[in-house]
Amino acid sequence: MKRIKKYLFLLLTAILLFAQPVPQVQAFTTTAATGQVKLNKKSLTIAYTKTAKLKLKNAPAKVAWYSSNTKIAYCDAGTVEARSVGKVKITAKCRGISYTCTVTVTSGENAGLTENGRYTSKNKVAAYIRRYGKLPSNFITKSEASELGWNGGSLLKYSKYACIGGNIYHDYEGVLPKAAGRKYYECDIDTMGALSRGAKRIIYSNDGLIYYTDNHYNHFKQL
């Protein structure tokens, strides 16, 4: 009888043991980590004639590059080439989604004021004239430009860094001060690497006067 009870006890213990719920083993699926797809820069400033690199980070497929104006900047495989002064949108397109960077192309005039430097801005050109009594070497007269094939407008296709300047300015309206022996000359401003000559000019005399106009001689401001 005791043997039967012992047998039944062992049998019951075994049944209860195997009836306990078995803990679930968690299954993990390893997924390759993919970061956010984005351009390495949302805005970029680059000097005329220089290049810079854009990259679409974590791109899952081939990237196509576009420029809103290839005359200002062109992009090939992420390399931006600054072709002229201005502002442009460079777009990277991947799987139908566009990522945009605003690119500003500057003239790239020299930072310091040296006799052999290239300058195009109002303040730099005026300072150069005061210091050296002449225009920076990147300025050429209209006749010199004509010898290169120029017949008006931008000089970009004829000379990479040249600007028009050094021609006599005839003050037919008599707006500027007169003096015995005084002559006025003119030069374009902000046109190095530009697509047009614009309306900005500096008028300077052979005896130290410097004037600026940003509306093609309608109004002058002495510098």
Report, as residue numbers or ranges, the catalytic residues.
186, 216
Phi first, then psi: what are they for 125, rounded to 5°? -65, -45
Longest Cα separation, the chain: 145
| 3-state secondary structure string across 118-173 | CCCCHHHHHHHHHHHCCCCCCEECHHHHHCCCCCCCCCCCCCCCCEEEEEECCCCC
Angstrom distance (rounded) from CA 216 to CA 211: 12
Angstrom distance (rounded) from CA 136 to CA 202: 13
Contact, 145 vs 191, CB < 8 A? no
DSSP 174-220: --S---TT--EEEEESS-TT-SS--S-EEEEETTS-EEEESSTTSS-
Cα–Cα–Cα angle for 85, 91, 93, rounded to 5 degrees? 160
Contact, 165 vs 191, CB < 8 A? no
